[in-house]
Structure 1
Amino acid sequence: MNEFELIRRFFARQPVSRADVKLGIGDDAALLYPPAGRLLAVTSDLLVAGVHFFPEADPVSLGYKSLAVNLSDLAAMGAEPAWFVLNLTLPAADERWLERFCQGMFALAREHDVQLVGGDTARGPLAIAIEAHGFVPPRMALRRSGARTGDRIYVTGTLGDAALALQHQRGNIRLSENDFAAVMPRLEQPVPRVREGIALRGIAASAIDISDGLLADLGHILEASKTGARIFLERIPVSPVCRRHFDEVGWETVLAGGDDYELCFTVPEKNITALEKLPFAGELHYIGEIEQDAGLRVMDAAGKPYSPSATGHDHFAGK
């Protein structure tokens, strides 16, 4: 099977066909109709075997997650997903692997009505790069730089489960079969918070998705907004499974483990009522406040400063 047969068989045939795609896969470039009066949000993520995932990872979950992490970035901007481009290097054209990879990727694409419109394939070490595109009204995009003193800080969902699953896979801890089954989907198939990101337009002042850990990603908001913050450990939402293993992994798994793909966002006091009226308000958790003084302060249940031993993932940090 050559490259062009691979593209026709596995990627040209797909379950999503959008009216705003004039020409998709099959030519030198795609031809697309961006909607009038909308900004185009563009993001990309690279997943490399042995760095971002185990080489023997389930291809269904890998296909799903490769797209999910990009949709999560669009969600953090309040953008509605539309199109994506896939660049893929493969050691070999393994038909069964490709079938399963596409199964996971296109299942999520169908759920969010996102069409694959192009990309490239080549022989090489396994790596997956997706570039996703979405739309957002002018002046409505959620950005990292909008936080202001007095804003409340929120997160969606719970934190720490994905990192807990990874600790188990690496052999650092041992989870029961039931506990591992409960947290593994959070690592392999994170749910991009697209609905929440769109609904937060006009309510949130700033937002980011939590990919490298809460401390690192909230830190990006503080840096971009030129502010500081105070967060409270007892307010940070964790699952019962994660809490059961605190003696083994501590708060660092929750604060700095990464791979949560939840949203962290700030809301001015005047918008709290609107936030509380959202249909998913029960899944939002108030964890702290934006402050004028620079830096991120973490407070324990006794009101004392907590000093975490890790702050988040950085590909190029010193070993």
Structure 2
Amino acid sequence: MTPESAFITALQALATHPAARGLADDCAVLEVGGETLILTHDMMVEGVHWLPAQDPADVAWKLLATNLSDLASKGAEPVGVLLGYTLAGDHARFIEGLGEALAHFGVPLLGGDTVRAPGPQSLGLTALGRATCRPVPSRSGARAGDDIWITGPVGRAMLGFEALSAGNTSADTSAYRRPVPRLAEGRALAPLVTAMMDVSDGLLLDARRMAEASAASFALDPAAIPLPAELPAERAREALAWGDDYELLFTLPSGTAPPCPAHRIGTVLPRGTAPLLLGDTPPEGPLGYEHR
């Protein structure tokens, strides 16, 4: 068990409110009067989630987009965001990029907090959304016989990060710098899916998490998983674990067609000895990104 997973396990004893969903989902789901609110909070740290020399405007965009991706996994409509900002350097480009992202996704900034601290800059953002259907999708509803789907390829962010790190200005690095959350797809899928989450830490790790939450086994077909055309074949396994893809991973009853472009990548099985199969065997090596 990694330090991150051990800490979350310890917190689960405190998160007893039904809205917390046992800290086993992408978001909290809070019933307030006749409204169902969706709440999520993600953090980013310089040198871990973005390159120290990266354009702060891109950092601001990604901070907002990653939180909205969690809302997308619940089929939620964004209501607003709260920003946590560590003061460091020139803030003009960050504010410019945040303004671009807020306008692009039609989300208002409602407030937040600022601090000054030594060391790498850290940022946080809380996103609030409104459920568009009930029950709100979770990670835990996949059933044996369901089909497993993903909305798009994995590995583009990995290639973008590598090009950005190498200073390759001719390469398309937008998937890493400015991901686009699948908000419209999430709203269309929410009434139909049996389970759904976004792929942020790596397809294999997130698929295992969904399988474990659903008390099932996920069998993924490696030949069916979409990858960037420019990705060398020998790097396919690496792309499945790299993360930062922000596609939606979801399950549908067998034979149900998704209402948006998506790729069928596997089948849900009754829980066996392993929660995740890649082909016929459990995958070896790292499954995704975890803080250690």
Query: In the alignment, residue 240 of structure 1 is paired with which amino acid?
Result: A
- CA distance, structure 2, for counterparts of residue 313 and residue 103 of structure 1: 30
* Alignment match, 1:50: 47
Deviation at 1:305, TM superposition (A): 3.8
- CA distance, structure 2, for counterparts of residue 75 and residue 193 of structure 1: 6
* Alignment match, 1:229: 218
- CA distance, structure 2, for counterparts of residue 36 and residue 264 of structure 1: 30
Structure 2-normalised TM-score? Answer: 0.82
Aligned runs of 1:134-283 on 2, under 5 Å?
A: 134-137=129-132, 139-170=134-165, 178=170, 181-182=171-172, 184-242=173-231, 245-247=232-234, 250-269=235-254, 272-273=256-257, 275=258, 278=259, 280=260, 283=261
Aligned residue pairs total 258
* Alignment match, 1:25: none
Provide the secondary structure at the position in 2 that maps to 1:235. coil
Asked if the contact 2:75–2:133 (Cα under 8 Å) also holds between the matched residues in 1, the reply is no
- CA distance, structure 2, for counterparts of residue 60 and residue 47 of structure 1: 14
- CA distance, structure 1, for counterparts of residue 42 and residue 211 of structure 2: 23
- CA distance, structure 2, for counterparts of residue 87 and residue 36 of structure 1: 28
* Alignment match, 1:118: 111
When residues 151 and 261 of structure 1 are mapped into structure 2, their CA distance, relative to the original with a 3 A threshold, is same
Query: In the alignment, residue 104 of structure 2 is paired with which amino acid?
Result: E
Deviation at 1:170, TM superposition (A): 5.0
Overall identity of the aligned pairs, in %: 36
Q: Residues 146-172 of structure 1, C-alpha deviation per residue, up to 9 Å, x if partnerless? A: 10001100001111111122244556x
2:60 corresponds to which of 54, 59, 63: 63
Stretches of structure 1 that go unaligned for 5 or more consecutive residues are 1-33
Larger radius of gyration: 1
Query: In the alignment, residue 284 of structure 1 is paired with which amino acid?
Result: A
Stretches of structure 2 that go unaligned for 5 or more consecutive residues are 1-30
2:278 corresponds to which of 298, 301, 305: 298
- CA distance, structure 2, for counterparts of residue 293 and residue 225 of structure 1: 9
Query: In the alignment, residue 63 of structure 1 is paired with which amino acid?
Result: A
Provide the secondary structure at the position in 2 that maps to 1:204. coil
* Alignment match, 1:3: none
2:80 corresponds to which of 67, 83, 104: 83
- CA distance, structure 2, for counterparts of residue 307 and residue 138 of structure 1: 35
- CA distance, structure 2, for counterparts of residue 137 and residue 310 of structure 1: 35
1:104 equivalent in alignment to 2:97: yes
When residues 60 and 176 of structure 1 are mapped into structure 2, their CA distance, relative to the original with a 3 A threshold, is closer
Provide the secondary structure at the position in 1 that maps to 2:174. helix
- CA distance, structure 1, for counterparts of residue 225 and residue 163 of structure 2: 22
The runs of 4+ residues in structure 1 deviating greater than 4 Å are: 168-171, 175-178
Provide the secondary structure at the position in 1 that maps to 2:111. strand
Provide the secondary structure at the position in 2 that maps to 1:202. coil
When residues 62 and 176 of structure 1 are mapped into structure 2, their CA distance, relative to the original with a 3 A threshold, is closer
Q: Residues 227-258 of structure 1, C-alpha deviation per residue, up to 9 Å, x if partnerless? A: 0011111100011112xx233xx223221000
Q: Residues 152-206 of structure 1, C-alpha deviation per residue, up to 9 Å, x if partnerless? A: 00001111111122244556xxx9764xx22x10001001000000111211111
